[in-house]
């Protein structure tokens, strides 16, 4: 009998995101859950993960969760402390394998909104805007999106395309002039993990988290999600992962224990 390990949804999402990252690859991260996932990967299965921050930190050994996306933790024991021009140009050159985004809304092609809910001219809710998200989603090879899933967030049409997914479908990114062969790769939510169908570039369910069902995921999606015959179950966090998360990366519980 396996011992039952207690964990929260946010810890599960951090572990799922961390496992997407491969050793000896590069990742552009912002703060919050993405940096937690990057730090976890670095401290577990991917010790040679090259972590890069948009404000100039490159090859950072993250001591603990940075609060600002450019604070001193983002270049702690880094290989280089440079500039945003340097980092973003490096991404434009093709050196950045992965990047992470958060999202207020997403559609089936992985287009992301973090700018406004409602009309731009008269928004219902004003959100912070692109930040570095548009840049990361335009220039990095594979983009991973971390967000909550429900029918208000997974929508037929996002109110505003802040960051490009596959835009209107296959070939649209290249047609718009975006770097070829780039785009969203995974969407990780509190319910499961989604990918994108190779041919149609539409969002496709890959796994549901322990205790969740395919029907729950479908009911929380406001567009037609591709559901393959076989959907796996996400592996739960290990004891080791949880220990690193709770004692090393976010001991104050700023992201992990926040309601």
Question: Cβ 179 to another protein, closest distance in Å?
Answer: 6
229 is a site residue for another protein (CB under 8 A): no
Task: Considering the complex, state which of residue 99 and residue 189 has its C-beta at the smaller distance from another protein.
Answer: 99
* DSSP state for residue 74 in the 8-state scheme: G
**Could you confirm whether 54 is annotated as catalytic?**
yes
Task: Considering the complex, state which of residue 175 and residue 218 has its C-beta at the smaller distance from another protein.
Answer: 175
Tell me how far apart the alpha carbons of residues 152 and 220 are, in angstroms, rounded to a whole number: 9
Contact between 192 and 13 under an 8 Å Cβ cutoff? The reply is no
* DSSP state for residue 163 in the 8-state scheme: B
Q: Which stretch binds another protein (CB under 8 A): 142-150, 171-179, 197-205, 231-239?
A: 171-179
99 is a site residue for another protein (CB under 8 A): no
Strand partners, 184: 143
Beta-strand pair 232-233/203-208: parallel
Strand partners, 112: 106, 163
Place of tokens 């969740």: 212
- Residue 232: both structure tokens together: 């796996």
According to CB under 8 A, which one of 8, 22, 25, 32 is a site residue for another protein? Answer: 32
6: nearest Cα among 206, 259, 256: 256
Question: Cβ 153 to another protein, closest distance in Å?
Answer: 16
According to CB under 8 A, which one of 34, 38, 56, 110 is a site residue for another protein? Answer: 56
Tell me how far apart the alpha carbons of residues 130 and 134 are, in angstroms, rounded to a whole number: 6
Task: Considering the complex, state which of residue 164 and residue 184 has its C-beta at the smaller distance from another protein.
Answer: 164
34 is a site residue for another protein (CB under 8 A): no
According to CB under 8 A, which one of 34, 57, 110, 222 is a site residue for another protein? Answer: 57
Q: Which stretch binds another protein (CB under 8 A): 57-65, 147-155, 200-208, 232-240?
A: 57-65
Residues 119-138 that bind another protein (CB under 8 A): 120, 126-135, 138
- Residue 254: both structure tokens together: 């700023």
- The continuous run of DSSP H or E covering 143 comes out as strand 142-146
According to CB under 8 A, which one of 81, 214, 226, 227 is a site residue for another protein? Answer: 81
- Binding residues for another protein, how many (CB under 8 A)? 59
Contact between 183 and 201 under an 8 Å Cβ cutoff? The reply is yes
The dihedrals phi and psi of 11, each to the nearest 5 degrees, come to -65, -40
39 is a site residue for another protein (CB under 8 A): no
- The continuous run of DSSP H or E covering 81 comes out as strand 80-81
Pick the catalytic residue from 2, 22, 54, 224. Answer: 54
Gyration radius of the chain over CA positions: 18
Active-site amino acid positions? 54
Which residues bind to another protein, rule: CB under 8 A? 31-32, 53-57, 63-64, 67-72, 74-75, 81-85, 88, 92, 111, 115, 120, 126-135, 138-139, 160-164, 167, 172-173, 175-179, 251-255, 257-258
């Amino acid at each position: 009998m396996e011992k039952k390990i207690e964990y929260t949804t946010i810890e599960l999402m951090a572990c799922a995101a961390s496992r997407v990252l491969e050793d000896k690859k590069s990742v552009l991260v912002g703060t919050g859950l993405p940096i937690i996932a990057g730090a976890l990967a670095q401290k577990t299965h991917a010790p040679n993960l090259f972590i890069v921050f948009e404000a100039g930190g490159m090859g950072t050994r993250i001591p603990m969760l940075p609060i600002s996306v450019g604070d001193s933790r983002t270049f702690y024991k880094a290989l280089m402390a440079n500039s945003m021009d340097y980092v973003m140009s490096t991404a434009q050159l093709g050196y950045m394998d992965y990047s992470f985004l958060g999202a207020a809304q997403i559609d089936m092609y992985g287009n992301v909104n973090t700018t406004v809910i409602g009309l731009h001219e008269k928004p219902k809710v004003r959100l912070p805007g692109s930040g570095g998200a548009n840049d990361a989603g335009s220039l990095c090879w594979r983009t991973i999106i971390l967000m909550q899933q429900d029918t208000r967030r997974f929508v037929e049409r996002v109110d505003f395309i802040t960051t490009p997914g596959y835009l209107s479908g296959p070939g649209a990114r290249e047609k718009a002039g975006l770097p070829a062969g780039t785009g969203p790769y995974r969407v990780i939510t509190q319910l499961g993990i989604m990918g994108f169908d190779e041919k149609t570039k539409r969002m496709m369910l890959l796994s549901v988290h322990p205790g969740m069902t395919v029907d729950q995921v479908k009911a929380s999606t406001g567009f037609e999600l591709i559901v393959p015959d076989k959907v796996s179950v996400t592996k739960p966090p290990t004891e080791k992962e949880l220990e690193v998360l709770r004692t090393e990366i976010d001991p104050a519980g700023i992201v992990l224990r926040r309601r």
